[in-house]
Structure 1
Amino acid sequence: MSNKIRIGLDIRDLRIAKTGSRTYLEEIYNQFKSDKYDCEFVFFDTSIPVYTGQYKLLKLIEHIRFIIWKQIILPIKANLNHCDILFCTDYFVPYFTPGFKAIPVFYDAFFFEYSSHYNAQWLKLFKIFGVNAAKKAPFIITITEYARNRISHFTGIDRQKIKAIHLAPKKMAVAEPEPGYTPTFNIPTSKFILHVGTLEKRKNLVRLIEAFNLLRLSGHHDYSLILVGQPSPKNDMDDSAAISEIIDRLGLRDFVLTPGYASDQDLAYFYKYAEIYAFPSINEGFGVPVLEAFHHQLPVIVSDNTCLPEVGGDAVLCFDPFNVEDISNKMKALIEDKELRSELIKKGSERLKLFSWERNAEELIKTFRAAVNKN
């Protein structure tokens, strides 16, 4: 009889998720399929199509089906497959866990911090089936020490039960743009500053645009600002209207570009030829674009709050995200101080080595083993 621990992974979310949680599940799924680890793995999925549209009645039915999957079908599958651990990467684990232990992933505390931005019924389900089940779990996985502290603060769960395991950059579909490739829209200047992410209010892009305007007023007219990303699907979180308004008010329509969705070739081009990566967010769970910028040897400036200094370490230049002048000064420093620029690029390449999906999977399995042995 095998002494290997048996780990079940819920992969149903691969049919639904479109954001960072999908990337996380994909990468962990790929690691667990690779035969690198001294464990047995079982992957649980549904054969029933998952509804992802906007029709309210069908969305309600899908929510009910989701609860049935999590609270009835999944624990039965885990029990019948003799799992020691059931790992769920979408906040929700079964409340009853006959014969196994369940461990969820909580990426951040946004459900608590921005509760008004979420569907009221979904929040009730999260608190009943997500938080309460997590309190019974031997451990909860999160992605930064910052998120660990916030989750503990809002849920009352002991920090010792919450394990912070850092993410890694996603492998880009196109690592390098094709030789001679030019993006699908015109960039009016020879140099540009880059930001990649959804146009949400927490991304703080209005202040970044105001800071960019100060940069131009200081004499750096040979730069554009490219904000890659689509509007938020949640209207009260979306900041695209305010972004468009500030661009027009400052007369920057030709120099602040908002291309929306970027093709793989365009994205590879932006990362390769950008001069600076700017990350002014006022709330993040992790900030994977920091690592993607390191990978492309870009100097990075980030907000001095939440998890971004933790992820960037001494390889980033920090600013006060509420101080437009400070943001502008940090961009200016990287433009004018070539030695500082080179130093950050070098440190970024070194820091990137600390983050890998192999290391993430190893830390997960170490946590699973501890959970199996925990009373």
Structure 2
Amino acid sequence: MEIGSIIEFDSVEKYENSVKPFFSLPFMDESNFRWNINLYETGRNAIEDLGIYLRVKKGISNIAIPDYVCHTVTDSLKRSGLSYVRYHIQKGLRYDISEIEKLTKDGIQCIYIVHYFGKKLPKDILKQLNNLKIQGITIIEDITLSLLSNDKDGIGFGDYVIGSLRKWFPIPDGGILLTSKEHELPIIPHASGVSKYAYYYLIAQQWKRQYVTNGYKNKENKRIFLDYYSKAMKDLFEDYTIRPITEISKRYLEQCDFIQIAKQRAKNYDILYSRLSTIPCLNLLVERNKNYVPLGMVILSDNRDKLLMYLIQNGIYCNVHWRLGEEVSGYCRELSRRAITIPCDQRYNAKEMNYIADKIEEWFNVYL
């Protein structure tokens, strides 16, 4: 059994025909008429293009970002020409709104908000962020870690909503930028051809499907899948051209059942929670909120890297969000050192979740 890593290519029928006239995430519900939508090759494309647009068209020169954020965000902002400062995320992934308000008084024109791992923003924070918006501060919401959550009051309140799609679905690429109809969006540059990254990633997904459907027995299929995945990641960080989403990914998104995917992820998360929450020395970063769907289950361990390797040895491939540098300290430094994200996506069910829980329990009972 192997669990995690990239989501393999799905049945061909899922990519053949669009069955919806528009792209719609759960929090958008039936209010699609309210939104302008851009679909990019990557989330970082969306961030960079929006940053350029805000700088050139809106006269915005700076932005405040949380100190707990992926380096692709900071890299994209640098390429866009926006300068940025960091604000602190407090224990429990809580925003320090007083620090954010002080930054706006000191001249910051834009605030970047991250919806962390399906965690609901408290009402008082939402109220104060909306007040800043009324005062003319531009709010950007990053929903990458909570993409399928459905909270019409808690998601979509900002001027712009941004996110990466590839981590949630069997598609080779995908980034999204939304805004309400009262705002415009940049026109996506149409670079010629599909990138090497998307091409290699799609091949990797197809070979992984071969490996999975053959019961994980053909090691040559796995070797080919990993080889193309390595090529894809290499090209991803060598080519920063802003591109629209590929047609194959767009077709999948226009026909897939987001609601069913969200239900399966939440069900898997709840199985993990019921098992892992009983381990005394294991800390869970986020409890699942109603209508919120996490990317995965984030647990904290002082021996994170050893646990990570142990899970890999047992066929469980997890993510680390994120390995940050010396630019962060305090609570976010602790998260960078201790957090590991356990997969619970729609490919799996109770069998795989219980296997993960068994191995984690074994680690804490035997190896510590």
TM-score scaled by length of structure 1: 0.32
Larger Rg: 1
TM-score scaled by length of structure 2: 0.32
Structure having the larger proportion of residues in helix? 1
Q: Give the number of the structure with larger relative contact order, counting CA–CA contacts within 8 Å between residues 6 or more apart.
A: 2
